[in-house]
Chain A
């Protein structure tokens, strides 16, 4: 495949996070080609909210950190931009409000389609942000680039393992 052709190929971004021993959140973004082979990986140092933030945000703290703080920063810093960002939970769909590319979340098979566009990609079902109906249409046009047998849940496990690995290292290089 020539270099020009590869530029047009669909690139997927997988975003997830793990918690370290002190309650800090470490986020990771893995950008892969359409077959799931890695192109670039970005991860954060642990983000620790202070007490005020914990109290005032309450249950919205984690989605806020994952979307506005971690998600947005990772997508700004990554060199190889993905065409579609995937997350594991619908509460992170609001990331779409802060980044320019479509964001989708994996949903269970019995998800209610009324909450937003639901699409089948590989072996999983995706849901897009309800305020951005164009996202679903854009990805629909390119969805045949992802093989039907692709397991879109599996890269998240890889990222979590990689993030646990970075936590084991005493000093991580700051990018």
Chain B
């Protein structure tokens, strides 16, 4: 509105009003002045307002996370291919219908996993010097010995004792080992089982085992018993045949004696002798003289593992130890460790258990057969006597009686004891070696024979062991002092007795070893004799050694008696060993020489009427 404009009051005059009305005009316009300021123009402006368009979110923003497929790095170990073997041929039995009767079983309680007693488990430990991861894992991943040997993959004829499991595990992981268990504790079995496991797990492919010549049949038998699926070959025969045997591929185990090794090693050129993964020396005291050719040869055989077996308390003989350690390659050539070093080495490389240490694991009586090969002279004498004897028996025609056969048997048995012409005797050699170990360990032994003459003959040769004689020919008044001396004299290690002697009351239970130089007809009589040294149930422990000469009448008798025992066990159950009918009957005696039982006497018990009278 314009300031100057003056509003005019317009009085309303109603046309109907006739009277004049005084009108006064009043100016209402007021003038204002605005103060001039800078912000006037700004104030006149409208405030600016910006408009932004915001989209309403239809879906919220998502942060996604998918679990990543992690890359996992792995490390693998394959086990070496083990040689697979043919299963052993099934045993042919003549009476397939007989079944072994199981002993009466105790009713098992309900099996709860948590309550079952924890069986002792022997795990294989890697050797200290195995540095690579693969080597250490190999040992850790093997099954515990008890299950490996108990499963159907490997058949064990008998279950090993706990200390034997430990010995086997110890041998398995060692490149250098000296097993020095006392005689009778099963060094052979532990060695064979360890070899068997090494071959089965692919760790070794070729093994060489060296032993004294008379023991070769023993090792063969033990291999057949404890590792029946493992093929082995004996290095024997003429030079060409032996050479072929040495180089024949594919044989896991070779057996040879010390002399053959020395001879044949020399025949190979330098570096041409075949290599072995494992060489085992039995009766390792043979190489106790470092400079001997035998020791040098043993050290020169190319091998990766070296084991040695001995029954002598070798840790007490430092000079012999040096030679053995050199063979084991744990000391430098010609090294002479001092006493302290010897002790350290012994702790690491020798394992020796003694009978009293493991007594609680052993049964009170342990039987072992030593199968021996006749010496060459004995062999000649024996074969001659057998030939002549059989001819004579056949000539007797209808006159023949059991007594005739019996006499021939006795004569042949005497030859196996010793050759009458030359005095050669493998049994004596073996006895000497065994007694050396026993005497060195302070043990005492009793020896039984059926002939007093043989006992007297042995007494002379066993003098170094303080031999004492106790048989029918010894006057009564001397007997008690002899027994006393045997018990108390520390140098008296062997007592020679005949089967018949010994009234009741003999207390010889301190003797830990019994030798049956030749065997009686009836195992029950043998047992009675042995029981004089050891009664079942008493605390002491006895190891019974039977000498049996291979390929002789002794072997055949042993087989017949054993079959009878098994037959009786199958029919009547165990524990009936006192039955007299375990001795041989007429047809069996005739059968020893393939002579038919002319008189067909059937099952009348035959044998000497009574044991030799005391």
Which residues of A come within 8 Å of B, CB atoms?
1-3, 6, 27, 30, 32-33, 35-45, 47, 52-53, 56-57, 64, 69-70, 73-74, 77-80, 108-109, 123-124, 147, 149-151, 154-155, 158-159, 161-162, 165-166, 169, 172-175
Contact = CB atoms under 8 A, between A and B. Distances in A.
B153 A41 contact: no
Given A37-B142, A38-B141, A123-B113, A151 B147 contact: yes
| Secondary structure type dominating chain B contacts | loop
A69 B72 contact: yes
Contacts of B233: none
A40 B75 contact: no
Nearest to A39: B79
Given A1-B84, A43-B75, A45-B74, 16 more contacts: A32-B143, A35-B143, A35-B148, A35-B153, A40-B77, A40-B79, A41-B79, A44-B73, A45-B72, A45-B75, A56-B65, A64-B67, A73-B74, A151-B147, A155-B143, A165-B136
A44 B137 contact: no
Interface centre among B72, B79, B137, B150 (most CB of A within 10 A): B72
B78 A70 contact: no
Contacts of B70: 47, 69
A149 B151 contact: yes
B87 A41 contact: no
Contacts of A109: 112-113
A6 to B, nearest CB: 7
Contact of A41 (B67, B76, B147): B76
Contacts of A165: 133, 136-137, 140
A158 B75 contact: no
15 contacts: A38-B143, A45-B73, A47-B72, A53-B67, A73-B74, A77-B76, A79-B78, A108-B113, A147-B152, A150-B147, A154-B144, A158-B141, A162-B140, A165-B133, A165-B136
Contacts of A154: 121, 143-144, 147
The 8 closest A-B pairs by CB, nearest first: A35-B153, A73-B72, A35-B151, A45-B73, A42-B76, A175-B76, A41-B77, A175-B75
A147 B151 contact: yes
A27 B74 CA distance: 9
Interface string B130-164: 00010011001111100110111100000000000
Contacts of A73: 72, 74
Of B75, B77, B87, B143, most buried by chain A (CB within 10 Å of CB) is B75
B201 interface: yes
Contacts of A149: 147, 150-151
A166 B70 CA distance: 21
Contact of A37 (B74, B84, B150, B201): B201
Contacts of B75: 42-45, 166, 172-175
Nearest to A145: B152
Interface string B529-568: 0000000000000000000000000000000000000000
A44 B112 CA distance: 35
A78 B72 contact: no
B68 to A, nearest CB: 8
B147 A36 contact: yes
Contacts of A47: 70, 72
Nearest to B143: A36
Contacts of B78: 39-41, 79-80
Nearest to B151: A35
A97 to B, nearest CB: 15
Contacts of B87: 1
Given A35-B152, A36-B147, A42 B74 contact: yes
A115 B70 CA distance: 31
Contacts of A35: 143, 147-148, 151-153
B143 to A, nearest CB: 5
A159 B72 CA distance: 18
Contacts of B73: 44-45, 174-175
Contacts of B76: 40-43, 77-79, 175
Given A42-B74, A73-B72, A77-B74, A169 B133 contact: yes
A37 B153 contact: yes
B84 A43 contact: no
A15 to B, nearest CB: 13
Contact of A158 (B72, B143, B150, B201): B143
Contacts of A69: 70, 72
A57 B141 CA distance: 33
Contacts of A37: 142-143, 148, 153, 201
A107 B295 CA distance: 59
A145 B85 CA distance: 19
Contacts of B150: 149
Nearest to B150: A149
